[in-house]
Every structure is written in C-alpha cells, then in structure tokens.
Amino acid sequence: MSNVLRLAIVDPNDQSRETLKTMLLGMDIVWLDAECSRYEFFADVVLQSKPDAALISLDGGPDRAIVLMDKLRSSSPDCALLAVSKSSDGQLILKTIRAGVKEFLPLPLDVEELHSALERVLQLKYGGADGKSRGCRIIAIAGATGGVGCTSIAVNIGCNLARNAENSVALVDLDLALGDADVFLDLIPDYSLVDVTENASRLDFQLLRKSLTKHSSGLYLLPRPVQLQDLELITPDGLRKVIGLLRASFSHVVLDISKSYTQVDLLALELSNEIILMVQLDLPCLRNMVRLLMSLQHLESVREKVKVVVNRVGLESGQISLKKARETIGREVFFQIPNDYRTMVEMRNNGQPLTEQAPKAAVTLAVQQLTDLLAGVQIAPKQELEKPTDRSTANNWLSFWPGKAGQKAKVK
Ligand SMILES: Nc1ncnc2c1ncn2[C@@H]1O[C@H](COP(=O)(O)OP(=O)(O)OP(=O)(O)O)[C@@H](O)[C@H]1O
Ligand SMILES: [Mg+2]
C-alpha cells in the first residue's frame, strides 16, 4: 500500500525527458523510480524496478513505443501504462489504447491534467473496490521529558504494525545524538540516517530497503548517525527527502523524535499524521507538557494531531492523579499504559519486543491496543488490565480508557 505512485519514464529526447522529470519531481503523489532514454532497454528497467506505472513518450519513435507497450503488457502486467505525445493523431491514440495505455496525455503537458491522470492511476491501483484507504501513516512519538518511555513505545508499535503482513513499516530513530532504538531491537545496522540522507536523491526502492536493517518482526530500522560529528548533516531539508522516500515505500513510518525539539524534530511532527505525546504523572513532566502543548498550539500543522498518552500509570511514588493531570493539561488523555518496570527493562535488555518478551502482560496488551487504535483498527471491548495501585488513578481509570465496555473506538 502506498499513497505515492512509483513511476518509471522513457523518453529518447533528453530535453523533453528533463522537462517531464522536473514536472514530476514537483508532485508529491509521484516517486520517480527510474528513467530511461532507450525504448529497447525500458522493459528490463521496468522488470527490475517494478514501478506502479510507466510513462512512455511516443515522439522518439511511435512504432517502437507501441512495440514496447505490447512487450510491457506481457512482461510487467501489473505496471499501468501512460503515454505522452505531441501528436493528436486519432490513429496513434487508438493504437496506444489497443496496446493497453490507461491514459494518453498531449504535449505540452498541462500540470493539472497530468496530476489528475496520475491520481486516477493511483486510485485504480490502490483505491480498490474493498474501500481500503491507501496511504502511508506517519506516527511520531514525542515525549514531555527524557526517559518518559518514547523509544520503548515507538519500537513496540513498529513491531506490532510490522507483524501484520498487509503492512510495511519503518522506524526512524531521530534522537540523533543518543538514540537507542537499535539496542531495543538487538540490531547492528550497517547504515544510518546519514547514509540515506546523503543518497536520498539517488536511492531507488530496492536500495532504500537494503540501507535499512530488518528486524525479525518485519520492521525496518533507520538508526541515528554513528558519529556526533555527523549530526549536523541531518537537516530539515534532508529529513524531508528521506521521509518522502519512506512514505513512498512503506505503509507506516514510526518516528522516535528527540527531546530537544530541534528544527528536525519539529519538521518530523509537521510531516506526521499522528503525534503521540508521552507523559508521566509527575510534576516536572506535566509542567513540560503544558509548555509543549502551548508551543505546539501555534503550529497549525501540528496542534490537531497531538494525542496525549500517559505512561507508567499505577506508579505510586510522586504521582499526580489522572483527574488532576487532565485539569492541568486541559485536554483528554488519549491512552494509558500501565507501569511494569520489570517487563519493560527486560524487553530492552533482551532486545526483544513485548509480544515476545511478555505476550500476556498488561503492558503488552495495552501497547497492542494503542497500536490498533493508531492503525485505525477497531478495538475489542474493554480489556482487563492490572489494577493501578494509586487510588486516585484507579478512580479515573475507566473514564480515560478509550473503548469502554461495550464500545468500539476508531481513530480517524
Ligand atoms: N510502561 C512502563 N512501565 C515501566 N517502565 C517503563 C515503561 N515504559 C518505559 N519504561 C522504562 O522507562 C525507561 C525509559 O524508557 P525509554 O528509553 O523508552 O524512554 P525515552 O523517552 O525513549 O528516553 P530518552 O529520553 O532517553 O530517549 C526505561 O528504563 C524503560 O524500561
Ligand atoms: Mg529514547
């Protein structure tokens, strides 16, 4: 599933190919997977890069272009064909349609027309009759203070999503200086965010996957830079490209952002569909939460997406009640995750996700339920969780729990 159409183009004329490329690169619904200047080689290019669609210019030799289309129809039947030409000759248009072309676009191209044609192809490929929505969901996990549980939750949401065969999931460690997602997953990556950022404009889909490290759950990890000296190489522009690339290739991207709220972190929030803001029920954390929410309030593209998740509910010492917390932060708590230090530390130290480390623990079930909510999967009626030890917390438990008994919750 993807919200981006992966496209390969062939046009023997360098100048018109460049014009076409410039137009396509400005469209967020297209990922230019491959380009070719020879009709003879293009069928092999398509076989290798497996794009969603092929855009063929007819003007470098209409007859050879038609032969190519016939070939593509049998060698890459899943690849949708689009044709462009200066000619408006009815016979030629008829031939391309017979050769299986879905869209014929006259040159010079009208941007709107091209965009609509690409959207129609995208709709045909991914907006199937089952009504399933296409599109990559980007989920950012942010925290109101250090050690609030962001990486623990980001890693497990990533693994939970990746276990579903319908999903393809990447986790990006944006805690650039001290990120430890690789430790949680017990992975030793070959490449980091620096490599992918530096090569973003040259990577194709196969190379991108090879640059990421695959976990046994199916999750792909893109870790933080190795050297502190490399941190400055990760710029907002670079991150935008990397996320564009991931968005075109994965159904879900999970971002474990840093607590520094740098320009890179803020861009990550801006590009996300969901923002989980993790908090614990202690005074410094709640105070930071209020400051953060006030700051994010000014960012139009961010404020609506923030969902407050309380971690370590039930931890006794120095805890503030959920009721008080809700009054303080002035908004609903989207989800609660119970306190279970032993399970969480073992999970990290053994480099095993919760579903393997402690499949039946309340904290595992809670994180699974949070994953389902974020994935838009309907959740089962109220789930039995360990009872919080804090009385005031216990009193408010149900009123904050999404999907109370008998109800079904769904995230839009
Ligand atoms: N629900 C929980 N119950 C008990 N302990 C937890 C829970 N969630 C996380 N922890 C523990 O809290 C500690 C910090 O967790 P984690 O590293 O995930 O937080 P973080 O926000 O990513 O930290 P940092 O700011 O350093 O990136 C770890 O020891 C982890 O095991
Ligand atoms: Mg962390």
SS3 of the chain: the string is CCCCEEEEEECCCHHHHHHHHHHHHCCCCEEEEEEECCHHHHHHHHHHHCCCEEEEECCCCHHHHHHHHHHHHHHCCCCEEEEEECCCCHHHHHHHHHCCEEEEEECCCCHHHHHHHHHHHHHHHHCCCCCCCCCCEEEEEEECCCCCCHHHHHHHHHHHHHHCCCCCEEEEEECCCCCCHHHHCCCCCCCCHHHHHHCCCCCCHHHHHHHCEECCCCCEEECCCCCHHHHHHCCHHHHHHHHHHHHHHCCEEEEEECCCCCHHHHHHHHHCCEEEEEECCCHHHHHHHHHHHHHHCCCHHHHCCEEEEEEEECCCCCCCCHHHHHHHHCCCCCEEEECCHHHHHHHHHHCCCHHHHCCCCHHHHHHHHHHHHHHCCCCCCCCCCCCCCCHHHHHHHHHHCCCCCCCCCCCC
C-beta of 173 in contact with ligand 1 (< 6 A): no
The rounded percent of the chain whose pLDDT value lies above 90 is 64
Of residues 97 and 125, the one with the higher pLDDT is 97
Centre of ligand 1 from the C-alpha of residue 99, in Å: 58
Dist. CA 148 → ligand 1 center (Å): 5
CB of 247 closer than 8 Å to CB of 136: yes
| Beta carbons within 10 angstroms of residue 2's beta carbon | 20
- Pocket test residue of 258, 278, 336, 341 for ligand 1, highest count of atoms within 8 A of CB: 341
Please determine whether the domains at 5-126 and 137-400 fall in the same fold group of CATH.
yes
Of 15-24, 304-313, 382-391, the one with minimum mean pLDDT is 382-391
Residue 253 has pLDDT above 90, yes or no: yes
State the pLDDT at residue 95.
93
The domains of the chain are located at 5-126, 137-400
- What is the average per-residue pLDDT within 394-402? 33
- Which pLDDT belongs to residue 205? 66
Query: Which tens digits make up the pLDDT trace of 34-79?
Result: 999 999 999 999 999 999 999 999 999 999 999 999 999 999 999 9
Please indicate whether residue 34 or residue 112 has the higher confidence score (pLDDT). Answer: 34
Which of the two residues, 194 and 250, has the higher pLDDT score?
Answer: 194
What CATH number labels 5-126? 3.40.50.2300
Nearest CA to ligand 1 atom 19: 149
pLDDT for 136 equals: 83
The closest-lying atom of ligand 1 relative to the alpha carbon of residue 337 is 1
What's the average model confidence in pLDDT over 237-264?
A: 90
137-400 falls under which CATH superfamily?
P-loop containing nucleotide triphosphate hydrolases (3.40.50.300)
- Nearest ligand, CA of residue 276? 1
Residues 6+ apart with CB under 8 A from 346: 357, 358
**pLDDT at residue 320, as a whole number:** 85
Q: Ligand 1: which residue has its CA nearest to atom 29?
A: 345
Among protein residues, the one whose CA lies closest to atom 24 of ligand 1: 147
- pLDDT attached to residue 385: 42
Residue-level pLDDT at 392: 38
13 against 379, higher pLDDT:
13
Q: What pTM was estimated for this model as a whole?
A: 0.73
Structure token digits, residue 215: 């976990």
- Give me the pLDDT at residue 409, please: 35
Cβ proximity of 54 and 72 under 8 Å: yes
Place of tokens 């890459």: 76
What is the C-alpha separation between 235 and 41, in angstroms, rounded?
37
CB atoms within 10 A of CB 166: 9
Choose between 363 and 385: higher pLDDT: 363
Ligand 1 touching residue 363 (CB < 6 A):
yes
Select the more confidently predicted residue: 406 or 330. 330
